[in-house]
């Protein structure tokens, strides 16, 4: 069966002279509006280059876009409840902890702060749900005539730390969430979840500028009539409102906000736009940027368990680093993380939110009866269950053995996912078979989950990259839509819960991974179509 396809919003290819001219204008627009990143090969703090972007906005069904927006607050609440259920997290992670040192270290910090007593019941989560369309139908070998070229979408992940590209007393926990989806031709045109991931709610800052950039490009191509099909995006202000609200809940006017960053920040535009937005909205809020090592050296806990930095109590700690093993090269970084978790600062995410975002937790939520445990038997429960796709445990039990056999027999059908963040960690195709054959009798396999692979519909387009030849060739692309959400509340009460914006990442159709920061994907905007 050939892969399904959407038509581009403008017939391609464009005439050579027109294409060269509009790309030159688009690059200048991108640089002048912060759609950029630092060059990893020739790094300097004095210059940025364009971030990879898709020249024309990519088509996405209007009905599915609306469904994703409407479902976001339901997913916000679900993840909030999961993060606060100690018994569920303990039971779900027990096997992974034996083979995944990074998750075990996070878990040990969680146990320590629980035993010492968590003094603040309030949590803030900012999520992003990522979705992609699926072009295959489970009921027939051909396209579903009713829903061609798709019949549902699947959720890729929910993220809760580092709402990147969104512009783009007691201890309060803060998490930034993002739910990611892929479109899928499953039964009855329903969305399907691929992964819960409460780390890296990226693309909030720069993505807020992408619709304006696409509108500019369409006008330059004399197609301003298409702009009405592009939704507004206020992800940056929406995500920053969560940090500001958490700051106000902390209740100390002299307090500051702390961004945890890497030693070298390539994605500087996206990070800084959050700081600029907060400063513009609330000039009274001071923001510091520190690495985990600098937090270890420059902060202390006072007798009130306040985290003190430069003489100020820290109200909010927002992690733009600290969610991968490589970001903890020594015990100093782990000690800094423990110090932050022990403090009264509002964490984004708190340690239990990060644990709730592991792949094992998402796989466990897809099991029979798991959702009812958190949501009861309700219409909302049915809506969430409808988005789940094939997620399989690799534990040493009957189900795990069955999953291993299934993946070895048909490796192209699956993705093998470890408890890792940041992109580039998943295994595909023959890599899945090779890895499972290697660790079939090793407990190492318990640190992974198996997920059914998605085959999204294609669309033709141009990807503009720094340093690439101009004009680029027309290539086949697939897209991933992200919906942002913010939720604040205690274990027993939701204070606020809202959807705040969206983003779109697009990659070459034959690429397995698609991270923009990793150089594998490109920034994009949805062009809503009626089908």
**Largest Cα span, the chain:** 69
- 228 assigned to active site: no
Cis bond leading into 407, ω under 30°? no
Q: Is 447 helix (H, G, I), strand (E, B) or coil?
A: helix
- The more confident residue out of 478 and 192 is 478
Contact 385, 186 (CB under 8 A): no
pLDDT at 521: 86
pLDDT at 138: 53
pLDDT at 358: 85
373 is in an annotated binding site: no
419 is in an annotated binding site: yes
d(CA 454, CA 428): 11
- 27 assigned to active site: no
Cis bond leading into 149, ω under 30°? yes
User: Quick check: is 404 in a domain?
Assistant: no
Ordered strands of the 448-452 beta sheet: 391-393, 448-452, 414-418, 427-428
Q: Would you place residue 1 in the very low, low, confident or very high pLDDT band (cuts 50, 70, 90)?
A: very low
- 421 assigned to active site: yes
Q: Which domain holds residue 198?
A: 5-389+454-529
Q: Which of 157, 195, 275, 277 is catalytic?
A: 195
Instruction: State yes or no: pLDDT of 192 exceeds 80.
Output: no
423 is in an annotated binding site: yes
- Tokens, residue 270: 């996206």
Q: Which of 38, 128, 305, 383 is catalytic?
A: 128
User: Quick check: is 441 in a domain?
Assistant: no
480 is in an annotated binding site: yes
User: Quick check: is 133 in a domain?
Assistant: yes
- 197 assigned to active site: yes
Provide the number of structural domains found in the chain. 1
Specify whether the backbone of 395 is left (phi greater than 0), alpha (psi in -120 to 50) or beta.
beta
User: Quick check: is 302 in a domain?
Assistant: yes
Q: Would you place residue 324 in the very low, low, confident or very high pLDDT band (cuts 50, 70, 90)?
A: confident
Contact 153, 132 (CB under 8 A): yes
- 233 assigned to active site: no
Contact 440, 167 (CB under 8 A): no
513 is in an annotated binding site: yes
Q: Which of 164, 422, 489, 521 is catalytic?
A: 422
User: Quick check: is 402 in a domain?
Assistant: no
- Tell me the per-residue pLDDT of 442-457, one tens digit each, with 9 for 90 and over: 989 988 999 888 788 9
User: Quick check: is 409 in a domain?
Assistant: no
User: Quick check: is 410 in a domain?
Assistant: no
Work out the average pLDDT over 203-211: 85
User: Quick check: is 427 in a domain?
Assistant: no
Closest of 319, 281, 351, 277 to residue 109, by C-alpha: 351
- 359 assigned to active site: yes
Instruction: State yes or no: pLDDT of 492 exceeds 90.
Output: no
- 195 assigned to active site: yes
- 342 assigned to active site: no
266 is in an annotated binding site: no
Q: Which of 75-79, 165-169, 359-363, 389-393 has the highest mean pLDDT?
A: 75-79
- Tell me the per-residue pLDDT of 123-137, one tens digit each, with 9 for 90 and over: 888 778 777 776 666
- Tell me the per-residue pLDDT of 366-414, one tens digit each, with 9 for 90 and over: 888 999 999 999 888 888 887 777 889 999 999 999 999 999 999 999 9
Work out the average pLDDT over 36-41: 92
DSSP 215-267: HHHHHHTT-GGGGGGS----HHHHHHHHHHHHHHHH--TT-EEEEE--SS-S-
Work out the average pLDDT over 467-487: 92
d(CA 232, CA 392): 37
- Tell me the per-residue pLDDT of 214-261, one tens digit each, with 9 for 90 and over: 999 999 999 999 999 999 999 999 999 999 999 999 999 999 999 999
Instruction: State yes or no: pLDDT of 35 exceeds 70.
Output: yes
Average pLDDT over the chain, rounded to whole?
86
- 272 assigned to active site: no
Q: Which of 359, 360, 383, 433 is catalytic?
A: 359
Q: Would you place residue 531 in the very low, low, confident or very high pLDDT band (cuts 50, 70, 90)?
A: confident
Closest of 202, 200, 269, 314 to residue 31, by C-alpha: 269
Contact 113, 341 (CB under 8 A): yes
454 is in an annotated binding site: yes
443 is in an annotated binding site: no
- The more confident residue out of 198 and 18 is 18
Q: Which of 163, 189, 202, 350 is catalytic?
A: 202
Spatial neighbors of 74 by CB under 8 A, at least 6 apart, are 380, 383, 384
359 is in an annotated binding site: yes
Please give the helix or strand (H or E) that residue 128 lies within, else none: strand 123-133
Please give the helix or strand (H or E) that residue 165 lies within, else none: strand 165-167
Instruction: State yes or no: pLDDT of 499 exceeds 60.
Output: yes
Q: Is 144 helix (H, G, I), strand (E, B) or coil?
A: coil
Q: Which of 347, 505, 514, 521 is catalytic?
A: 505
- Chain Cα centroid distance, residue 255: 28
Instruction: State yes or no: pLDDT of 487 exceeds 50.
Output: yes
């Amino acid at each position: 069966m050939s892969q399904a396809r959407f038509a581009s919003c403008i017939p391609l290819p464009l005439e050579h002279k027109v294409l060269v001219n509009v790309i030159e204008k688009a690059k200048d627009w991108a640089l002048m509006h912060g759609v950029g990143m630092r060059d990893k090969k020739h790094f300097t703090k004095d210059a940025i280059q364009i971030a990879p972007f898709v020249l024309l906005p990519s088509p996405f069904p209007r009905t599915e876009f609306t469904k994703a927006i409407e479902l976001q607050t339901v997913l916000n609440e679900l993840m909030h409840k999961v993060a606060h259920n100690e018994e569920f997290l303990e039971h779900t992670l027990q096997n992974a902890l034996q083979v995944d040192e990074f998750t075990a270290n996070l878990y040990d910090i969680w146990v320590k702060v629980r035993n010492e007593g968590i003094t603040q019941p309030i949590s803030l989560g900012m999520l992003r749900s990522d979705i992609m369309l699926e072009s295959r139908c489970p009921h027939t070998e051909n396209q579903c005539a009713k829903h061609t070229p798709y019949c549902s979408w699947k959720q890729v992940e929910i993220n809760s730390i580092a709402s990147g590209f969104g512009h783009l007393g007691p201890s309060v926990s803060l998490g930034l969430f993002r739910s990611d989806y892929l479109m899928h031709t499953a039964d009855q045109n329903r969305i399907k979840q691929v992964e819960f991931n409460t780390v890296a709610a990226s693309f909030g800052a720069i993505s807020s500028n992408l619709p304006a950039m696409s509108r500019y490009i369409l006008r330059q191509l004399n197609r301003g009539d298409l702009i009405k099909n592009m939704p507004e995006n206020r992800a940056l202000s929406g995500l920053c409102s969560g940090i500001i609200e958490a700051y106000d809940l902390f209740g100390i006017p002299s307090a500051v906000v702390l961004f945890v960053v890497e030693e070298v920040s390539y994605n500087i535009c996206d990070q800084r736009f959050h700081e600029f937005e907060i400063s513009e909205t609330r000039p009274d809020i001071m923001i510091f940027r520190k690495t985990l090592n600098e937090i270890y050296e420059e902060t202390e806990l006072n007798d009130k368990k306040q985290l003190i930095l430069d003489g100020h109590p820290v109200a909010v700690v927002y992690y733009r680093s600290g969610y991968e093993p490589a970001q903890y090269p020594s015990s100093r970084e782990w000690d800094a993380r423990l110090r932050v978790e022990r403090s009264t600062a509002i964490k984004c995410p708190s340690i239990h939110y990060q644990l709730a975002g592991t792949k094992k937790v998402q796989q466990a939520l897809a099991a029979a009866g798991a959702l009812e445990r958190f949501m009861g038997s309700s219409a909302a429960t049915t809506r969430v269950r409808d988005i789940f796709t094939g997620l399989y445990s690799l534990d040493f039990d009957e189900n795990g053995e069955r999953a291993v056999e299934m993946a070895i027999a048909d490796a192209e059908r699956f993705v093998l996912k470890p408890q890792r963040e940041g992109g580039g960690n998943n295994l595909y195709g023959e890599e899945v078979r090779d890895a499972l054959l290697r660790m079939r009798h090793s407990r190492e396999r318990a640190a992974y989950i198996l997920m059914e692979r998605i085959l999204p519909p294609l669309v033709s387009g141009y990807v503009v990259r720094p340093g690439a030849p101009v004009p680029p060739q027309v290539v086949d692309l697939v897209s991933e839509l992200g919906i942002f959400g913010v939720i604040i509340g205690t274990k027993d009460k939701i204070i606020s819960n809202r959807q705040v914006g969206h983003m779109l990442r697009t990659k070459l159709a034959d690429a397995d991974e698609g991270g923009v920061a990793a150089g594998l994907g490109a920034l994009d905007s949805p062009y809503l179509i009626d089908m």
